[in-house]
Structure 1
Amino acid sequence: MSATALRGGCHCGNLVVDLVLTQPAASYAPRCCDCSFCRKHGAAWLSDARGSLRVVQRDAAAVLRYRQGSGQADCLACARCAVLVLVTCEIEGRLYAAVNARVLDGEPGFASAQSASPQRLVPDDKRSRWQQLWFADVHIEAVDPLA
Structure 2
Amino acid sequence: MSAVVLRGGCRCAALAIEATLDRPASAYTPRACDCSFCRERDAAWLSDSNGVLRLVQRDDADALHCRQGSGQADFIACAHCGTLMMVACEMDGRLYAAVNAHVFPGAQFAPEQPASPQHLSPEAKRERWRQLWFAEVCVETTG
TM class by smaller structure = over 0.9
| Residue in structure 2 matched with residue 16 of structure 1 by the alignment | 16
Q: Distance in 2 between matches of 1:103 and 1:118?
A: 21
Given residue 15 of structure 2, which amino acid in structure 1 is its aligned partner?
L
Matched, 1:94 2:78: no
SS of residue in 1 equivalent to 2:82: coil
Residue correspondence of structure 1 range 35-114 to structure 2 within 5 A: 35-105=35-105, 107-114=106-113
Query: How many aligned residue pairs are there?
Result: 143
Match of 1:34 in 2: 34
Which string of whole-angstrom CA distances, capped at 9 and with x for unpartnered residues, describes residues 71-119 of structure 1? Answer: 00000001111110010000111000101000113x2211000001110
**Hey, what does 1:141 align to over in structure 2?**
140
Instruction: Determine if contact 1:52/1:138 at 8 Å carries over to the other structure.
Output: yes
Aligned Cα root-mean-square deviation (Å): 0.8
- Aligned-partner SS, 1:50: coil
Q: Give distance in 1, aligned partners of 2:129 and 2:140.
A: 22
Q: Which runs of 5+ in 2 are unaligned?
A: none
Structure 1 gaps, min length 5 = none
How does the TM-score come out when normalised to structure 1?
0.95
Query: Structure 2 counterpart of 1:129, which letter?
Result: R
Corresponding residue for residue 4 of structure 2: 4
Partner of 1:115: 114
2:97 maps to a residue whose letter is A
8 A contact 2:57–2:140 mirrored in 1: yes
Partner SS for 1:82: coil
d(CA) in 2 for partners of 1:62 and 1:111? 31
TM score, norm. by length of structure 2: 0.97
Contact 1:32 1:116 in 2 (8 A): yes
Provide the C-alpha distance between the structure 1 equivalents of 2:10 and 2:58, rounded to a whole number of angstroms: 11
Identical counterparts, % of pairs: 59
Aligned to 2:131: 132
Offset from partner CA, 1:111-135 (integer Å, 9 cap, x none) = 0000011100000000000010000
Q: Runs of 4 or more off by more than 2 Å in structure 1?
A: none
> Are the counterparts in 1 of residues 15 and 62 from structure 2 also a CA contact under 8 Å?
no
